[in-house]
Every structure is written in C-alpha cells, then in structure tokens.
Amino acid sequence: MQVGLVLPLFSTSYAFVRDVAVRAEASGYDDVWISDHLQGIPDPSGSVLEGWTTLSALAEATERIGLGSLVLSATFRPPRVLAKMAQTLVEVAGPRLTLGLGAGWLEAEHRAFALPFPSLRERVARLEETVDAVRALTPRVPVLLGGASPVLRELAAAKADWWNAPADRLDELPALVSSFAVARGAAGREVGIVSRVGLVLADTVEAAEERLARRWSPWARVGLGPLGLVGDGDEIVRRVELHRALGVTRMVVGISVRDLERGVLERFAEDVLPLVRAAGKPSD
C-alpha cells in the first residue's frame, strides 16, 4: 500500500504547504498531492492556492517524494497546453509525477473565472482529449482519472493507469470499485485503484470519534465515513485493510490544518505507517 498526503491549499500559505511537503518527505510518505480549485470551498471568498503552480514549486522544494494531482480539471487548461506543462514538470522533477485528471464539476467556479462549463458529455470528451495529448507528449507519466460516473469509470478503465473515486463518495466505494472492476475487465487492462480518505488519529477510538463529532461542517467530514481513517492506530490499520480487500493499492490521506500543526503527520508516519506496510507483506 502506497500512502500519500493531500496538501491543504485552502486558507493557507505556500510557506505552510511547502513545510508540510518537506515534512512528509522526511517522514517517509510516498507522495504529496494537490487539489485543483480556483476559489474557496465551500466559501468562494476564501483563499486558495492554484494547484499546478504549487506543485511546480514543490518539485524544487523536495527531492525524492512523489508528486501528484487529485485531480486537475480538464476544463481549466487547453489539452495540449496541459500536456506541455506536464512535460516541463517532468523535466524539473524527474519521474515523480502522477498526473491526476478530472472532468470538472463546480459550475460556479467556472463562471467566476469566465471558463465554459459545457455538458458532462462535452467535459468528458475534453478530458479524453487531454489524456490523449498527455500520452503523446509525456507517454511515461502515469495518468490517474478521477470520477464516479459510469462514463468516467469506463474512460479510466480504457485509458488510465489509476482510477480514483471522489472522497465525498467514500461510503459508496465498495459498489463503485465493483462497477469499475467490470469496466476494467471489459477493457482488458490493469488499472490501479486509489482511495482518498480523511484521518482523525487519537489515543483511543472513542477519542477519535468524539473529535470527529465536533466537526460540524460537511466539508470537514469528507472522507471520514466508515471507511475513513478514524481511531487509534489499530483501528486505522483495520480500516486500511478494508481498502486493501477492495483492491486499493494506493491511498491519499487528508489531515486537517490543525492536526498538521499538532504533529499528526509525524505521529501517523511513526506509529501507524509501519503497521500498514507490515500488514500488506506476505507472512513467512
């Protein structure tokens, strides 16, 4: 199980994000990931760092850790322009990039930046065009496609290296993975599965559940349902095994800014990651 960290681009500074990425590299995480939004969520007046610029800066700020996007909206950038951007980032960072792409979903965000927001069918066609452009210019870059709709699952099965369901659909992951397996079988390709989860780590399961209950905003609870990583170390390992049993081989963990400031990033890496990795090794 590869375990990465999604970086907090909302209501933070680049200095903070850079520090978190450097800490993640030092702590042994496999990769760090950026999201791709142009305004705050759920409050559009909130600040947010632009994802690709941040990822490019982190390519210089780090040395070994993988870099990923979860996911770039294909509606924000022309397909061949984005492919050229990826080609350049590989020149900067070497073979550390996993390029995650999606069809775009937040109409208000597009309106705010004078970007077209066509039908889902047209957005998926734009996404496929983007994948083809990336394959042409950077054929060795792994491509991840994110999305839960049938058409996106089929596209991922046909053309991606990895597939990811949105974190707000985490409770539906078993059914989505089952449907994706059918699409993958029909395509006759091996495509890995990535899960995006939240983390609430405490000394006891009860303490972790109490902390989760205090998060009143639905956005603060994304990725933290029954398959989220909520509990003490043993409970979190048990939940990771639920993902592994579904066929997930790559996990991206979200940690709140407050918990990042309190050192949960390091605690998870020191106390839980070794257990997660040991659980996946075959016994003698």
**Residue boundaries of the structural domains of the chain:** 2-195
- Is the predicted pLDDT of residue 82 greater than 90, yes or no? yes
**pLDDT of 282:** 63
Nearest CA to 68 among 40, 92, 41, 98? 98
In the numeric block, the tokens 């409050």 are attached to 43
- Is the predicted pLDDT of residue 66 greater than 80, yes or no? yes
**Calpha distance 151→191 (Å, rounded):** 16
The CA-based angle 241-220-120, given to 5 degrees, is 85
- Is the predicted pLDDT of residue 203 greater than 90, yes or no? yes
- Is the predicted pLDDT of residue 199 greater than 80, yes or no? yes
Helix, strand, coil shares of the chain as percentages rounded to 5?
50, 20, 30
Q: What is the mean pLDDT of residues 186-194?
A: 96
Q: What is the dotted CATH code of the domain comprising 2-195?
A: 3.20.20.30
Cα 66 to its chain centre, rounded Å, is: 12
pLDDT tier at 220, thresholds 50, 70, 90: confident
Q: What is the mean pLDDT of residues 266-272?
A: 96
Q: What is the mean pLDDT of residues 149-174?
A: 94
Nearest 5°: phi and psi at 98?
Answer: -115, 115
Q: What is the mean pLDDT of residues 173-193?
A: 96
Cβ proximity of 138 and 96 under 8 Å: no
Q: What is the mean pLDDT of residues 242-247?
A: 96
- Cis peptide preceding 42, ω within 30 of 0: yes
pLDDT in tens, 85-133: 999 999 999 999 999 999 999 999 999 999 999 999 999 999 999 999 9
Average pLDDT score, the chain: 95
**Calpha distance 253→79 (Å, rounded):** 28
- Cis peptide preceding 264, ω within 30 of 0: no
**pLDDT of 284:** 55
**Calpha distance 83→27 (Å, rounded):** 31
Q: How many residues does the chain have?
A: 284
Give the side-chain half-sphere CA count within 13 A for 228. Answer: 23
Q: What is the mean pLDDT of residues 168-183?
A: 94
Give the side-chain half-sphere CA count within 13 A for 53. Answer: 8
pLDDT tier at 283, thresholds 50, 70, 90: low
Q: Distances from the Cα of 5 to the Cαs of 17, 46, 70, 97, 146, in angstroms? A: 11, 22, 11, 14, 17
Q: Which residues contact 232 (CB under 8 A, 6 or more apart)?
A: 201, 202, 203, 204, 205, 207, 208
**Calpha distance 17→136 (Å, rounded):** 32
DSSP SS3 for 34: strand
Helices (H) and strands (E) in the chain, counts: 12, 10
DSSP SS3 for 143: strand
Cβ proximity of 228 and 200 under 8 Å: yes
- Tokens representing 136 are 């042409």
In the numeric block, the tokens 């059914």 are attached to 175
**Calpha distance 267→158 (Å, rounded):** 39
pLDDT in tens, 134-157: 999 999 999 999 999 999 999 999
